[in-house]
């Protein structure tokens, strides 16, 4: 039987619902053989997840999902937020540490500002939000959603994101993130394998304009491939079907690694462990390329 390989998941170290130990237990129950742990902008969940592996016979691919942005070279361009998965980096590499500390600090400032704005119209305080963000965890909008749900304003995280937490809404505040080319080089220098997360989730999203003719899309991706981009997360529920076809052509053109994963967030998102998976030969390519840390089992 082929191994079930799911390379993208979150814990309470960022915006997942499960602690790292709970994630390992849930992945084991779901029959996952190889699990990627990829919290946003932190590796602080790695140790607890590693310690929980005992007796599961699972392999843990330690990773991160780095916040990044792409700013088109035209005056007044609005930055697009993108996510870069990095597999098996050295968690103590100075550039990686510096970049993640900076992102988390800005995320913290930004979340406080969002709570300030929200507190005009909703019964919410920063202390309430901060109380359920564990030390070292990456603060994000889902932490605000948690309080708004607890207070009965919304039924779930998705509803809160469709409401006041919208990226284009009046309460939204952006946060610092490195350019995608910088993020790719940070992950590479730390010995990790940079793979673009959910690259095409819809119109005007993602690292390039996917509505452009294929030749233009290939030229745009070439910049990231030259910066060291190693792969694309094609099989992800948020990529559109048309997007997946385009991305497959990009991967073919540049011989990129192709992954698939659930992007599991526990009860914070409907995604199920193992709903999308990665082929064994593609995992092999990641392992061959990685030099920052080791897979654990």
As a whole number of angstroms, the distance between CA 165 and CA 168 comes to 8
Kindly identify the residues of this chain, within the stretch 6-45, that bind ligand AMP according to CB under 6 A. 15
Binding mask 260-279 for Fe ion (x = CB under 5 A): ---x----------------
Q: Contact with ligand AMP (CB under 6 A): which of 158, 181, 182, 291?
A: 158
Q: How many residues bind ligand AMP (CB under 6 A)?
A: 10
- What six digits make up the tokens of 104? 């988390």
As a whole number of angstroms, the distance between CA 39 and CA 24 comes to 14
Kindly identify the residues of this chain, within the stretch 4-23, that bind Zn ion according to CB under 5 A. 15
Out of Zn ion, ligand AMP, Fe ion, none, which partner does residue 161 contact, by CB within 5 to 8 A per kind?
ligand AMP
Nearer to ligand AMP, 129 or 217 (CB): 129
- What six digits make up the tokens of 143? 């932490």
Pick the piece of the chain touching Fe ion (CB under 5 A) from 57-65, 93-101, 134-142, 148-156: 57-65
Nearer to Fe ion, 20 or 153 (CB): 20
DSSP states of 217-249 as a string? Answer: HHHHHHHHHHHT--EEEEE-TTS-HHHHHHHHH
Kindly identify the residues of this chain, within the stretch 87-116, that bind Fe ion according to CB under 5 A. none
As a whole number of angstroms, the distance between CA 72 and CA 49 comes to 38
Q: Angle at CA 37, nearest 5°, toward 260 and 188?
A: 80
- 238 and 197 in contact (C-beta within 8 Å)? no
Nearer to ligand AMP, 182 or 201 (CB): 201
Note whether 157 binds ligand AMP by CB under 6 A: yes
Q: Contact with ligand AMP (CB under 6 A): which of 126, 161, 176, 254?
A: 161
Strand, coil or helix: 115: helix
Q: How many CA atoms lie within 13 A of 247 on its CB side?
A: 27
CA 6 to chain centre: 13
CB 259 → Fe ion: shortest distance, Å? 12
DSSP states of 15-47 as a string? Answer: T-SS-HHHHHHHHHHTT-SEEEE--BT--TTHH
- Which residue is nearest to ligand AMP, using beta carbons? 140
Contacts 24+ apart (CB under 8 A), 212-219: 214/246, 214/249, 217/246, 217/250, 218/249, 218/250, 218/253
- Which residue is nearest to Zn ion, using beta carbons? 15
Q: Contact with Fe ion (CB under 5 A): which of 62, 83, 141, 236?
A: 83
Note whether 141 binds ligand AMP by CB under 6 A: yes
CB 65 → Fe ion: shortest distance, Å? 5
- In the complex, the residues that contact Zn ion under the rule CB under 5 A are 15
Q: Which residues of this chain interact with ligand AMP, rule CB under 6 A?
A: 15, 140-142, 157-158, 161, 265, 268-269
Contact residues for Fe ion (CB under 5 A)?
65, 83, 197, 263
């Amino acid at each position: 039987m082929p191994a079930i390989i799911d390379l993208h998941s979150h814990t309470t170290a960022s915006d997942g619902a499960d602690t790292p130990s709970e994630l390992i237990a849930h992945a084991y129950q779901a029959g996952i053989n190889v699990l990627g742990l990829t919290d946003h902008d932190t590796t602080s969940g790695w140790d607890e997840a590693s310690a929980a592996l005992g007796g599961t016979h699972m392999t843990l691919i330690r990773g991160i999902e780095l916040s990044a942005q792409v700013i088109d070279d035209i005056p007044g361009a609005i930055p697009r937020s993108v996510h870069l998965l990095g597999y098996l980096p050295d968690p103590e590499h100075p550039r990686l540490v510096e970049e993640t500390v900076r992102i988390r600090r800005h995320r913290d400032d930004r979340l406080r500002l969002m709570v300030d704005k929200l507190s005009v119209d909703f019964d919410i305080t920063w202390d309430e939000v901060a109380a359920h963000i564990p030390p070292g965890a990456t603060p994000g909008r889902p932490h605000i959603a948690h309080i708004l749900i607890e207070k009965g304003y919304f039924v779930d995280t998705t509803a809160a994101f469709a409401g006041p937490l919208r990226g284009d809404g009046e309460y939204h505040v952006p946060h610092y993130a490195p350019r995608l080319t910088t993020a790719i080089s940070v992950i590479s220098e730390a010995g990790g394998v940079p793979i673009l997360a959910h690259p095409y989730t819809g119109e005007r999203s993602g690292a390039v304009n996917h509505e452009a003719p294929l030749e233009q899309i290939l030229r745009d991706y070439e910049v990231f491939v030259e910066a060291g981009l190693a792969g694309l997360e094609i099989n992800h529920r948020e990529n559109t079907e048309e997007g997946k076809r385009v991305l497959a052509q990009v991967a073919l053109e540049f011989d990129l690694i192709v992954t698939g994963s659930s992007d599991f967030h526990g009860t914070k998102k409907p995604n199920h462990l193992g709903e999308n998976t990665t082929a064994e030969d593609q995992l092999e390519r990641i392992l061959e390329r990685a030099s920052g840390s080791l897979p654990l089992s």
